[in-house]
């Protein structure tokens, strides 16, 4: 039995579906690209503003004296405990 020849429409149908699938898979990537790009630009602007106004934010980088004292105390304590552990490890018995 002979089959009739395919029309131009029937020949182009699979390729148009493939094109549609490819385009639809690229749309989320395109959206993601533009969102990330705009976020990156906003972040860059914000960072430049922070650098220009760095005197206003210096206090964020300074450590409180209480925190500094506590850190020193804890480091000394850790050192003493480490020495005690070493001495106990050498203790016979």
DSSP state of 18: H
29-88 pLDDT, tens digit per residue, is: 999 999 999 999 999 999 999 889 888 888 888 888 899 999 999 999 999 999 999 999
At residue 20 the predicted structure's pLDDT band, cuts being 50, 70 and 90, is confident
The pLDDT of residue 9 is: 66
The pLDDT of residue 45 is 96
Q: Are 57 and 50 in contact (CB under 8 A)?
A: yes
User: What is the Cα–Cα distance from 86 to 80, expressed in whole angstroms?
Assistant: 10
pLDDT, position 56: 86
Phi, psi of 4 (to 5 degrees): -75, 150
| Predicted pLDDT of residue 4 | 72
pLDDT at residue number 85: 96
Flag whether the pTM goes above 0.85.
no
């Amino acid at each position: 039995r002979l089959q009739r020849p395919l029309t131009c429409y029937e020949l182009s149908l699979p390729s148009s579906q493939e094109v549609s699938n490819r385009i639809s898979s690229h749309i989320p990537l395109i959206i993601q690209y533009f969102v990330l790009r705009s976020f990156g630009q906003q972040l860059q602007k914000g960072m430049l503003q922070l650098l220009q106004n760095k005197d206003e934010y210096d206090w964020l980088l300074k450590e409180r004296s209480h925190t500094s004292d506590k850190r020193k105390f804890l480091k000394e304590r850790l050192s003493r405990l480490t020495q005690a552990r070493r001495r106990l490890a050498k203790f016979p018995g």
